[in-house]
Amino acid sequence: MLEHVREEMQDVNKIDVVRPEVFSLVYLAIKRVLGISLFPVQIAGGYSISTGSIAEMATGEGKTVTAVQAAAMWGLMGHGCHVITTNDYLAQRDAEELRDVYLYLGLSVGCLTAEMEPYSEPRQLAYQSDITYGTAKEFGFDFLRDRMKLGPETELSTIRRDLHSGYGSGKLCVVQRPLFACLVDEADSILIDDARTPLIIGQAKEVSKETRHLLAWCLEQVRVLERDVDYIIDTRFRQAYITEVGERKIVLAPKPMWLPPTHLDRLLTWVERMLTACFCYHRDQHYEVKKDEIVLTDASTGRPLEGRKLQQGLHQCIEMKEHVVLSPETKTAAKITVQSFFRQYRYVGGMTGTAWNARRELRRIYRLKTQTIPTNRKNRRETLPPRVFVSLKAKYVAIATDVKERVANGQAVLIGTPSIMASEMLAEALHAQGVWLRILNARHESIEAEIVSQAGRPKSVTIATNMAGRGTDIKLTPEVREAGGLHVIATEVHASARIDRQLVGRSARQGDPGSCQFYVSLEDELFDQRPVEVRLRLLRSARPDQNGELSPSYFNAFKREQRRIERRDYKQRGRMFKHEQEQLKSYKRLGWSFTLEHYEDD
Angle subtended at Cα 66 by Cα 502 and Cα 48, rounded to the nearest 5 degrees: 85
Average pLDDT for residues 355-361, to the nearest whole number? 92
**Residue 584 in domain:** no
Task: Tell whether 579 is covered by a domain.
Answer: no
Whether residue 189 is predicted with pLDDT greater than 70 in this model: the reply is: yes
Print the SS3 string covering 266-315. Answer: HHHHHHHHHHHHHHCCCECCCEEECCCCEEEECCCCCCECCCCCCCCCHH
CATH number at residue 47: 3.40.50.300
Q: Which band of pLDDT confidence, cut at 50, 70 and 90, is reported for residue 255?
A: confident
Confirm whether 568 is domain-assigned: no
Q: What letter represents residue 340's amino acid?
A: S
The pLDDT, as a whole number, for residue 164 is 45
Kindly state whether residues 367 and 431 are assigned to the same domain: no
Mean pLDDT of the chain: 86
Are 241 and 311 found together in one domain? yes
Pick the residue with more confidence: 505 or 172? Answer: 505
Q: What pLDDT digit, counting tens, does each position of 275-330 carry?
A: 999 999 989 888 989 888 999 887 656 667 777 788 888 999 999 999 999 998 77
Tell me what the mean pLDDT of segment 55-68 comes to. Answer: 92
Which residues have C-beta within 8 Å of that of residue 38, sequence separation ≥ 6?
27, 30, 31, 46, 62, 65, 66, 69
- Given this model, what pLDDT does residue 155 score? 52
154 pLDDT higher than 80: no
Are 251 and 345 in a shared domain?
Answer: no
In a domain, 599, yes or no: no
pLDDT for res 321: 95
236: CATH? 3.90.1440.10
384 and 405 share one domain: yes
At residue 227, what are phi and psi to the nearest 5 degrees?
Answer: -65, 145
**Comparing 584 with 325, which gets the higher pLDDT?**
325
In this prediction, what percent of the chain has a pLDDT beyond 90?
52
Q: Say if residue 181 is in the same domain as residue 291.
A: no
Is 138 among the domain residues?
A: yes
**In the chain, how many domains are there?**
3
250 and 165 belong to one structural domain: no
472-478 — which CB contacts under 8 Å span 24+ positions? 472/59, 472/60, 472/64, 473/449, 474/414, 474/506, 474/509, 476/412, 476/512
Q: Are 114 and 88 in contact (CB under 8 A)?
A: yes
DSSP assignment of 239-269, as one string? Answer: EEEE-HHHHHHHHHS---TTSPP--HHHHHH
Phi-psi region of 66 (alpha: psi -120 to 50; beta: other; left: phi over 0): alpha
230 within a domain of the structure (yes/no): yes
pTM over 0.85: no
Rg for the chain, CA atoms, rounded: 26
Same domain, 60 and 188: yes
Q: Which of 62-66, 118-122, 533-537 has the lowest mean pLDDT?
A: 533-537
SS3 350: strand
**Could you tell me the residue range of the domain that residue 448 belongs to?**
380-550
456-467 pLDDT, tens digit each? 899 999 998 865
pLDDT higher than 90, residue 265 = no
Do 371 and 421 belong to one domain?
Answer: no
Distances 35 to 1, 32, 38, 345, 465 between C-alpha atoms, Å: 22, 5, 10, 33, 34
Q: What pLDDT score does 591 carry?
A: 62
**Lowest mean pLDDT across 78-82, 152-156, 472-476:** 152-156
Q: Do 385 and 521 lie in a common domain?
A: yes
Are 148 and 70 in the same domain? yes
Percent over 70 (pLDDT), the chain: 89
> Is the C-alpha dihedral spanning 54, 60, 61, 62 positive or negative?
positive
In terms of domains, do 543 and 423 share one?
yes
Query: Is residue 589 over pLDDT 90?
Result: no
Q: Which of 550, 579, 596 is the last residue of a domain?
A: 550
Q: Which of 86, 46, 153, 177 is nearest to 445 (CA)?
A: 86
Do 115 and 213 belong to one domain? Answer: no
Across 341-362, average pLDDT: 93
> Does any domain span residue 564?
no
Q: From the CB of residue 169, how many other CB atoms can be counted at a distance below 10 Å? A: 11
| Backbone CA torsion sign across 390, 391, 397, 402 | positive
For residue 562, being part of any structural domain is answered with no
Within 13 Å and on the Cβ side, how many CA atoms surround 290?
13
pLDDT in tens, 107-125: 999 999 989 999 999 999 9
